[in-house]
Structure 1
Amino acid sequence: MSTANGTTTPGTGLDTALLTRVTAAVRTAGDLLRERHIPHPRGVALDEIVAEIHANDNAVLDVLKAPLMAARPGARWAEDELEGGALPPGEWWIVDPAEGNINHVHGMSDWAVTATLVRDNRPVLTVVHLPPTGDWYTAVAGQGARLNGAPLRVSAKTDLGAALVGTGQARPGEDERTFHRIGASVTQLLVHGLVVRVSVPATLQLIHVAAGRMDAFWQFSDVRSGLVAGALLVAEAGGTVTDTRGNPWDLASGDFLATAAGIHTAAVSVLSSVA
């Protein structure tokens, strides 16, 4: 994956056949999630909303987990999609059966299904399917990033002052210090950037960075499922993926920054000052 110096490390043993199998599994899961979608909120009280979120997750995992495990024998499954931090060595599937689940249960259209194969804490293959539009984003380490089969490329911008950037919270109920950091970082990027988007989920902002529609995304979190797919897509589209201080990013990193290469240094300069 691309790092601060722009180098890449190709995946080993990852081929077109595996990507095809993963894409088919994710798209089947996406069809099910689309069938569950209705254009108005499901649930009013917190416990009702949480129940709807869990119902989406359980329904999609019922059709997604088995084909992914069969596609890569020996890979293990990261069970909790909201967990962060490094995983034990080897290959792991990190899956979000309803990325943007909160949007789905509120009748919105910005949600997806994601599946990412991680090797030794580095994403090496990913598929992101957007059922409302039918689009699918794919990347394999060392082989580029694609939207519906067409190559992706990050923005060519070099001026942070002209940049459209974004952030958001990773999960409800994060600690107050994290919320203060988010607020302070938004203020700094409002001063130094052009426009700041604050929304969820992370993956749906990161696909815009990979496609050159946005120029940077950062998050003060290590939630794996929201970052690994977009990290690989941005890196394989020619972007730079680090932590907010410019150090190479992996699952052990405490925070995250993905940018078009031309504004990375400026973005680090701004974000690294946020305490």
Structure 2
Amino acid sequence: MKAHSEPMTDNATRRDRSTASAEDESLLPAVVAALTAAGKRLVDRFSTAPRLESRADVLAALGANDVVSLEALREPLSRARPEARWVEDELECGPLPQGEWWVVDTVEGNINHVHGMTDWSVTATLVRDNEPVLAVVHLPLTGDTYTARKGAGAYLGTRRLQASTKSELDAAFVGTGQARPDEDKETHRRIGESVTAMLGSALVLRVSVPATLQLIQVAAGRMDVFWQYSQVRSGLAAGALLVAEAGGAVTDTRGNPWSFASEDFLAAAPQLHAGAVNVLSTIR
């Protein structure tokens, strides 16, 4: 009997994974529809001629956008996956309790939206036992929708994505940015030192927010490397899955496996990952 116990367990595990994968696939249309509805509301609020005069004005505009988008997202996502709990604070860091969670950014790049810039999106990631298993990133102004499921690839619409095939860091288009406003001085130091280090190693460097809109470029092979210090789950979860499913490497800046418990984040084209680690691992 013992000779059959391990294969039986393996078969059961494969069946469980297969069932979960099928359920996740059937979930995708509902997630895309919810993000599209939220995006339409945000487009209606978008202006390329903003009227912001103070920090209070900025914070009020950010909050109003979050409320409008959340109203379109929470009910349909909760209905689509009733078992999944909801992360209330989009700036939260660290591991989640076991089980399923919706990690959502109601306006990823909200700061850009309220200032009349076009680099913003709506994102939702289903996290199961601290592992992203389904992600959708919707760009309302272009209508582009990026999707990924664990083990099933990453897509822009129906086109499968593939990370860059570059092999030399001195040919790379790389990027980084803040995780959130009011980072501590130590994080500012690490960002600055990493930018200086990469300016001497890569071809071109971009510093911008939000993280997700750089990570979709890495997944699509348009950019080659992205890293970020500190952790904000909602800014990394979707992009991490997209890059991994597009064949990219996702680790921390020292090359260790990335998780929500990691101190920092690195996503890179597979042949550039070692070179990026060599540069960034010197930053302490």
Q: Does 1:117 align with 2:126?
A: yes
Render the CA deviation track for 1:185-215: whole Å, top value 9, x for unaligned. Answer: 0011000111110000000000000000000
Gap regions ≥5 residues in structure 1: 1-8
Matching residue of 2:260: 251
Counting only pairs closer than 5 Å after superposition, residues 79-94 of structure 1 correspond to structure 2 as: 79-94=88-103
Matching residue of 2:44: 35
* Partners of 2:34 and 2:73 within 8 A in 1: yes
TM-score by length of 1: 0.95
Matching residue of 1:157: 166
Q: Does 1:18 align with 2:27?
A: yes
Matching residue of 1:203: 212
Counting only pairs closer than 5 Å after superposition, residues 1-275 of structure 1 correspond to structure 2 as: 12-275=21-284
- Taking the aligned partners of 2:49 and 2:169, their CA distance within structure 1 comes to 37
1:40 is displaced (CA, Å) by 1.7
Render the CA deviation track for 1:236-262: whole Å, top value 9, x for unaligned. Answer: 000000001111111111110000000
Matching residue of 2:14: none
Render the CA deviation track for 1:137-178: whole Å, top value 9, x for unaligned. Answer: 000000000001210000001111110000000111110110
What is the identity, as a one-letter code, of the residue corresponding to 2:137? V
Q: What SS does the corresponding residue of 2:106 show, helix, strand or coil?
A: strand
* Partners of 2:106 and 2:123 within 8 A in 1: yes
What is the identity, as a one-letter code, of the residue corresponding to 2:262? S
Q: Based on CA coordinates, which of the two structures has the bigger radius of gyration? A: 2
- Taking the aligned partners of 2:58 and 2:178, their CA distance within structure 1 comes to 18
* Partners of 2:24 and 2:134 within 8 A in 1: no
Aligned length: 267
- Taking the aligned partners of 1:85 and 1:16, their CA distance within structure 2 comes to 27
Q: What SS does the corresponding residue of 1:244 show, helix, strand or coil?
A: coil
RMSD over equivalenced CA pairs, Å: 1.1
- Taking the aligned partners of 1:261 and 1:237, their CA distance within structure 2 comes to 10
- Taking the aligned partners of 1:28 and 1:122, their CA distance within structure 2 comes to 26
Render the CA deviation track for 1:63-102: whole Å, top value 9, x for unaligned. Answer: 1111001111110000000111000001100000100000
Gap regions ≥5 residues in structure 2: 1-16
What is the identity, as a one-letter code, of the residue corresponding to 1:166? G
Matching residue of 2:11: none
Matching residue of 1:6: none
- Taking the aligned partners of 2:186 and 2:25, their CA distance within structure 1 comes to 44
Greater RCO structure (CA 8 Å; 6+ sep)? 1
What is the identity, as a one-letter code, of the residue corresponding to 1:183? G
- Taking the aligned partners of 1:86 and 1:15, their CA distance within structure 2 comes to 21
- Taking the aligned partners of 2:248 and 2:147, their CA distance within structure 1 comes to 15
1:13 is displaced (CA, Å) by 4.6
- Taking the aligned partners of 1:168 and 1:213, their CA distance within structure 2 comes to 17
Structure 2 CA distance for partners of 1:42 and 1:148, relative to 1, 3 Å? farther
What is the identity, as a one-letter code, of the residue corresponding to 2:231? D
- Taking the aligned partners of 1:179 and 1:229, their CA distance within structure 2 comes to 24
* Partners of 1:40 and 1:108 within 8 A in 2: no
Q: What SS does the corresponding residue of 1:218 show, helix, strand or coil?
A: strand
Of Structure 1 and Structure 2, the greater helix share is in 2
What is the identity, as a one-letter code, of the residue corresponding to 2:237? V
TM-score by length of 2: 0.92
- Taking the aligned partners of 2:52 and 2:229, their CA distance within structure 1 comes to 29
What is the identity, as a one-letter code, of the residue corresponding to 2:232? V
